[in-house]
Amino acid sequence: MSAHFRGRTPAAPSRTALVEFSLAVGGFGIGAGEFAIMGLLPNVAGGVGVSTPTAGHVISAYALGVVVGAPIITVLFARLPRRTLLLALMAVFALGNFASASAPGYASLMALRFMTGLPHGAYFGVAALVAAEMAGPGKRAQAVGRVMLGLTVATLIGAPLATSIGQGLGWRTAFALVGAIGALTVALVALFVPHDPADVEASPMRELGAFRRPQVWLALGVGAIGSGGLFAIFSYITPTLTEVAGVPLHLVPFALCAFGAGMIAGNIVGGWLADRALMPTIGGGLIWNGAMMGLFYFTSGHAVLAVINVFLIGTAFVLVPGVQTRLMDVAGDAQTLAAALNHSAFNIANALGAYVGGLAISAGYGWRSTSLVGVGFALAGFAIFCVSLALDAARRSATRRPRLRMPSEQES
């Protein structure tokens, strides 16, 4: 365990399981709310009187809230007990979704989605720290993975369910459902997450110290760049499957379920491996991701092989528990900010991947070109990872190097 955790004795397995379940429910709600709207854009557009592309800006407003909220919230509320902060973050998330369900127009919906995104990164960061601390040494990455399991299960079950409800009962009902999951999480956290004392030594300046650590920036770079390929492919997966692989449109949701199943598998395996060999898991995960994305260039012309490959691309989530744990190890005293920034990095990966993938398609390289974009992102992430390894090696070498003594010291 990092020396910068608060030293709490690992909790009993039953208590730890209840805490992890409570935190994972919050992740499930966040994932359902973030991804369900992608399938409801035409409904939202009609409801607030704008075009579907314009309604897509609502997704961007949420993502911007995630990127902005993670550092600001963790810095400003550094001294709050983690349990209190979790309750407040999930309460804001629940209220934001309830308010989104009754937004009178496009402008108000944009503002509310931005507000709802603010707690996203901070929640996952604090939840990861709580779970890792309760799990104890040698089990931190798996605990982080179990908390993140809520998010990955949301891609398989939560988002499709919310989308179906929204299409049947109206998009406002979908937001209200996500708000109810947020409210349930508040109750679960209040019941099962133990009280913890405020860190009296915490301060905004201490948290901002994370930005002075090169290894924090490198770990965030691995997450933001190394994961970009996942979103370069996933953002355009529907037209790739229908126009290149020949998958009928009504079967695309099943292919997307394969992607969600891959994310779940990657999350579980990634946490297990990272607890046994953290840095090899991150480096190996980047190589694996690049290989699976490159393979998609060749399999995307065959329906069955393409869907199998979509599952394998989803396993790119193997990186997430390891990168989150790496941030805990290199953040020093700035644990909360570094952990929360991982999710800002993940949303940057989302934006970068979709943008660069779109550039490749617009340049005339075709739908399958997003797989080559994915390979490029994985290679760039691996290059950043290698720089991090080199810095670690240089630091170890410097600490082992014997100090040269002056002649006066030798004589004495």
CA atoms of 324 and 327, how far apart (whole Å): 5
Q: What is the average per-residue pLDDT within 7-28?
A: 78
- Reported as type and span, the H/E element at residue 47 is helix 41-48
Residue 52's pLDDT band (boundaries 50, 70, 90)?
low
* pLDDT digits 0-9 by tens, 4-15: 444 455 556 677
pLDDT confidence of residue 88: 94
Q: What is the average per-residue pLDDT within 91-106?
A: 92
The amino acid occupying position 293 is M
Given a contact cutoff of 8 angstroms between Cβ atoms, the answer to whether 270 and 285 are in contact is yes
Q: How far is CA 179 from the centre of its chain?
A: 20
The amino acid occupying position 331 is A
Given a contact cutoff of 8 angstroms between Cβ atoms, the answer to whether 57 and 172 are in contact is no
Q: What is the CATH code of the structural domain delimited by 10-202?
A: 1.20.1250.20
Burial 52-79 (b: 16+ CB within 10 A, else e): eeebbebbebbbbbbbebbbebbbebbe
DSSP string, 368-392: THHHHHHHHHHHHHHHHHHHHHHHH
What is the dihedral sign for C-alpha 112, 117, 119, 123? positive
206-398 topology per CATH: Growth Hormone; Chain: A; (1.20.1250)
* pLDDT digits 0-9 by tens, 66-80: 888 888 888 888 778
Q: In angstroms, what is the C-alpha Rg of the chain?
A: 22
pLDDT confidence of residue 86: 94
Given a cut of 90, is residue 288 above it in pLDDT?
A: yes
Given a contact cutoff of 8 angstroms between Cβ atoms, the answer to whether 342 and 123 are in contact is no
Give me the residue spans of the domains in the chain: 10-202, 206-398
pLDDT confidence of residue 12: 64
Residue 255's pLDDT band (boundaries 50, 70, 90)?
confident
Q: What is the average per-residue pLDDT within 377-396?
A: 93
CA atoms of 144 and 340, how far apart (whole Å): 13
* pLDDT digits 0-9 by tens, 140-184: 888 888 888 888 888 778 777 777 787 788 888 888 999 999 999
